[in-house]
């Protein structure tokens, strides 16, 4: 091997040993024995692959401790499954690079293929309760985004008073959140779902969090001059970021297509907002509202 190839082999080693220690650290933080066992098996696989590359390079490599720290924080904030799947996506690039080395290092391509298949199978075994409530969270988020963006857009033009818009939106949002949670509870109970209560809580909490985030611009941005319309623009931007972030999370954690789901949710929320804005214009014109 030339110097460039040697450098790449050492990079492969670093990735494998980093993931080995990362998985061990994750396993130590997991209370569920099943999940911890799955992660330790993944750590063992990474060590085997590290040793494979070490035989080629003949050098010892230290893990990337900054990357380990970053993924540990992410796992605590965003969940185990999401973090594992994100690591997998990063490693798929390594598997392709392994194929390029097969002519120089026999078995490299198979190593990459085995690693990819093994880790996908292991990650699918991980049981994370949070993901079983994604449907309830989607219900809360989607309804809040559609209803609140529309309501706030309509009220913005009809009232043109940030404080009134915020108060009206908050009252509407809280009432709607409890209504959605109750509907989810009754729906789950009718299907004899033993977790109906938790489903309702996830729906209601997702709705309330979205309501607060969408209303904040009307409370924080000065409302003099064009402030009311700046608040609306920021609210719509927050709505887009929520849609983007949540759909990215679900697409990674549950292996679902990102683009189609994002565009669908974006089109519905923004379409309702534009329609409601026009309704607000009509109401202000017909009823001569001047606050």
pLDDT at 2: 74
Q: What is the domain-level CATH number for residue 99? A: 1.20.1260.10
Domain with 263 in it:
131-287
pLDDT at 288: 61
Distance CA 63, CA 228 (A): 51
Among residues 127, 142, 174, the one where a domain terminates is 127
pLDDT at 39: 84
Distance CA 100, CA 95 (A): 9
204 shares a domain with 231: yes
pLDDT at 63: 92
DSSP state of 150: H
Q: How far out from the chain centre does Cα 256 lie?
A: 12
Among residues 127, 145, 164, the one where a domain terminates is 127
Phi first, then psi: what are they for 31, rounded to 5°? Answer: -80, -35
Closest CA to 58 of 10, 94, 14: 10
The first and second tokens of residue 208, run together, are 């309330």
Closest CA to 133 of 83, 190, 85, 181: 181
pLDDT at 128: 65
245 shares a domain with 164: yes
Q: What is the mean pLDDT of each run of 10 residues along the chain (291 residues)?
A: 82 89 88 84 88 90 91 82 75 67 77 71 66 75 82 80 88 89 86 83 89 91 83 90 85 80 84 78 67 50
pLDDT at 24: 92
Closest CA to 150 of 237, 51, 24, 277: 277
How many CB atoms neighbour CB 250 within 10 A?
A: 19
244 shares a domain with 194: yes
Evaluate whether 145 touches 243 at the Cβ level (below 8 Å). Answer: yes
Q: Using one digit for the tens of pLDDT, what is the confidence trace for 33-77? A: 887 888 888 889 889 889 988 988 889 999 999 989 988 888 887
255 shares a domain with 152: yes
Distance CA 291, CA 276 (A): 19
Q: What's the domain count of the chain?
A: 2
pLDDT at 217: 92
Among residues 111, 127, 143, the one where a domain terminates is 127
């Amino acid at each position: 091997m030339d110097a460039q190839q040697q450098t790449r082999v050492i990079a492969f080693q670093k990735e494998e040993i980093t993931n080995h220690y990362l998985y061990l650290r994750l396993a130590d933080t997991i209370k569920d024995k099943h999940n911890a066992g799955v992660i330790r098996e993944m750590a063992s696989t990474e060590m085997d692959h590290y040793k494979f590359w070490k035989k080629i390079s003949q050098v010892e490599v230290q893990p990337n401790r900054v990357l380990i720290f970053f993924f540990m924080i992410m796992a605590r904030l965003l969940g185990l499954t999401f973090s594992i799947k994100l690591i997998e996506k990063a490693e798929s690039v390594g598997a392709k690079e392994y194929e390029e080395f097969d002519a120089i290092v026999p078995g490299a391509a198979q190593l990459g293929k085995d690693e990819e298949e093994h880790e996908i199978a292991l990650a699918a075994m991980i049981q994370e309760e949070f993901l079983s409530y994604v449907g309830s969270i989607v219900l809360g988020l989607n309804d809040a985004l559609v209803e609140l963006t529309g309501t706030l857009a309509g009220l913005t033009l009809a009232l043109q008073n940030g404080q009134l818009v915020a108060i009206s939106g908050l009252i509407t949002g809280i009432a709607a959140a409890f209504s959605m949670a109750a509907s989810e509870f009754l729906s789950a109970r009718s299907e004899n779902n033993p977790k109906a209560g938790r489903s309702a809580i996830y729906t209601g909490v997702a709705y309330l969090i979205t309501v607060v985030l969408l209303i904040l611009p009307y409370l924080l941005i000065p409302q003099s001059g064009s402030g009311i319309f700046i608040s609306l623009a920021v609210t719509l931007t927050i709505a887009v970021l929520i849609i983007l972030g949540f759909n990215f999370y679900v697409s990674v954690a549950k292996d679902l297509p990102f683009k189609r789901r994002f565009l669908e949710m974006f089109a519905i929320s923004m379409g309702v907002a534009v329609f409601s804005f026009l309704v607000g214009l009509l109401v202000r014109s017909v009823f001569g509202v001047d606050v």
